[in-house]
Structure 1
Amino acid sequence: MKVIYHDDFCQCYTTDPAAAHGRMEAVVKAISGRVDFIQAKPAGESDISDVHTESHIALVEREGLYDIAALAAGGAIMAAEIGMSEPAFALIRPPGHHASAGSAWGFCYFNNMAIALERLKRERKIVKAFLLDFDLHFGDGTVNIMERKGYVTIHNPSSSDRNEYLRGIERGLSSASFDIIGVSAGFDNHKEDWGGLLTTEDYKTIGHMVWETGQKKRCGCFAVLEGGYNHRVLGENVLAFLEGMEGG
């Protein structure tokens, strides 16, 4: 599988948990030798301004975070474009699903997923998309941006029962037809992370569901990294998910 990544994502650009030293390194260590790394390139100004307001972009610039946030958004675009023909993963940060058009919170600045899907739509590579966000926290920014556009079906699974959680994802993926599946992949609902619900094998199951749906519906698929804060298990969880996305 092709994984979009850049060494700049290892820098501690803020003091929040998403920027903590060792987070990206843990994933790289776990998946090295199993994937093909492609260096991320920053999103263009037009890609970002298609999703975010001028005032929000200016705020990110003033905070000195524009370059790293644009690089993450660019990595998401690259994964989405590759995902049209084969599964791809954007190993990026900052995350993005709490970023709305004119505001952001939760360690996010630009909405990487929204920017990537809008790029595909603008270039007429897709008509409809399915967005699975399995991060522990509800992706309010993505919903705020994408729900009103009408071409994206968004599914944020929520259950305190692990089996029902997985069944909910399965039902969501089977609900409609679409041209691509975009996954906001947050691993903070693992039993040894903040959420305490899912196992590492569950992430492989979710990845396999995405792959299987893509095969059945003949659509593309890609994923972008969102949350996941226990560095000891994060790499294993990402690897399991990627193995599932490859049909494992």
Structure 2
Amino acid sequence: MKVIYHDDFCQCYTTDPAAASGRMEAVVEAISGRVDFLKAEPAEESDISAVHTESHIALVEREGLYDIAALAAGGAIMAAEIGMNEPCFALIRPPGHHASAGSAWGFCYFNNMAIALEKLKREGKIVKAFLLDFDLHFGDGTVNILERKEYVTIYNPSSCDRNEYLRDIEKKLSSASFDIIAVSAGFDNHREDWGGLLTTEDYKTIGHMVWKICQKKRCGCFAVLEGGYNHRVLGTNVLAFLEGIEGL
């Protein structure tokens, strides 16, 4: 599997938990030797401005975060484009699903997922998309940007019962027709992370659900990293998910 990554993502670009030292390194260590790393390239300004307002982009620039945020968005675009033909994962940061068109919070600056999907749609590469966001926190920014666009079906699972949570995902994935499955992959709902609900094996199960639907519907898939803050388990959780979307 191809994984989009850049050493600059190891920078401590702010003091928030998403930028904490060791987060990306833990994932790289866990998946090295199992994946092919491709170097992320920054998104074009035109791709960012197709989603975000001029004032918001200017704010990110003033905060000195434009370069790292654009690099993350570019990594998401690369994963989306590769994902049209084979599963691909964007190991990127800052995360993005709390970034709306004109504002952002929750350690996010640009909405990586929205930028990637909008580029695919704008270039005529997809007609319909299904977006699964299994981060612990509701992806409000992604919903704010994409909910009114008829080509995207967005699902944020929310059950507090893990078995019901998994059943709900499987049901939703089976209920729609689409050209690509996009996954905002946040691992902070793990039993040893903030949410305390899912097991490492559950992430493999979710990934395998995506793989099965892709096989059935002959569609593409890609995922981008969102949350996940316990470095001790983050790498193994990401690896489990990658094994799932590979069909292992």
Both proteins in one fold, TM over 0.5: yes
Aligned to 2:62: 62
* 2:212 corresponding residue in structure 1: 212
Partner of 1:134: 134
Q: What is aligned with 2:233? A: 233
For the residue of structure 1 that corresponds to 2:27, the secondary structure is helix
Task: Tell me how far apart the structure 2 counterparts of residues 28 and 10 of structure 1 sit (CA, whole Å).
Answer: 10
Match of 1:98 in 2: 98
Counterpart AA for 1:134: F
The answer on 1:6 being equivalent to 2:10 is no
Q: How does 1:1-248 map to 2 (within 5 A)?
A: 1-248=1-248
Alpha-carbon separation, structure 2, partners of 1:175 and 1:41:
35
Aligned-pair CA distance for 1:175: 1.0
Name structure 2 gaps, 5 residues minimum: none
Letter in 2 for 1:124: G
CA distance in 2, matches of 1:148, 1:177: 18
Q: Structure 1 segments of 4 or more deviating over 2 A?
A: none
How far apart, CA to CA, are the structure 2 residues paired with 1:180 and 1:144? 20
SS of 2:147 mapped into structure 1: helix
2: CA distance, partners of 1:175 / 1:66: 38
Q: Report the 3-state secondary structure (helix = DSSP H, G, I; strand = E; otherwise coil) of the residue aligned with 2:107.
A: coil
- Secondary structure of 1:149's counterpart equals coil
For the residues of structure 1 that align with 2:237 and 2:176, how far apart are their CA atoms?
A: 28
Output the CA distance in 1 between the equivalents of 2:79 and 2:209. Answer: 19
SS in structure 2 of the partner of residue 181 of structure 1: strand
Aligned partners of 2:219, 2:211: CA distance in 1, in Å?
9
Deviations 1:201-239 (A, max 9, x none): 000000000011100000000000000000000000000
Q: What SS does the corresponding residue of 1:28 show, helix, strand or coil? A: helix
The share of aligned pairs that are identical, in percent, is 90
TM-score relative to the length of structure 1:
1.00
Corresponding residue SS for 1:68: helix
What letter matches 1:166 in structure 2?
L
Q: Look up the SS of the partner of 1:113 in the other structure.
A: helix
Q: Distance in 2 between matches of 1:189 and 1:98?
A: 16
How many angstroms apart in 2 are the aligned matches of 1:152 and 1:160? 25
Deviation of 1:150 after TM superposition, in Å, equals: 1.0
**TM-score normalised according to structure 2 size:** 1.00
Q: Secondary structure at the match of 1:163?
A: helix
Which consecutive residues of structure 1, in runs of 5 or more, have no partner in the other structure? none
Deviations 1:22-60 (Å, cap 9, x if unpaired)?
A: 000000000000000000000000000000000000000
Distance in 2 of aligned mates of 1:136 and 1:112: 17
The AA in structure 2 aligned to 1:226 is E
Letter in 2 for 1:83: G
Structure 2 Cα separation of the partners of residues 149 and 62 of structure 1: 30
Partner SS state of residue 130, structure 2:
strand
Counterpart residue identity of residue 209, structure 2: M
1:85, distance to aligned residue in structure 2 (A)? 0.2
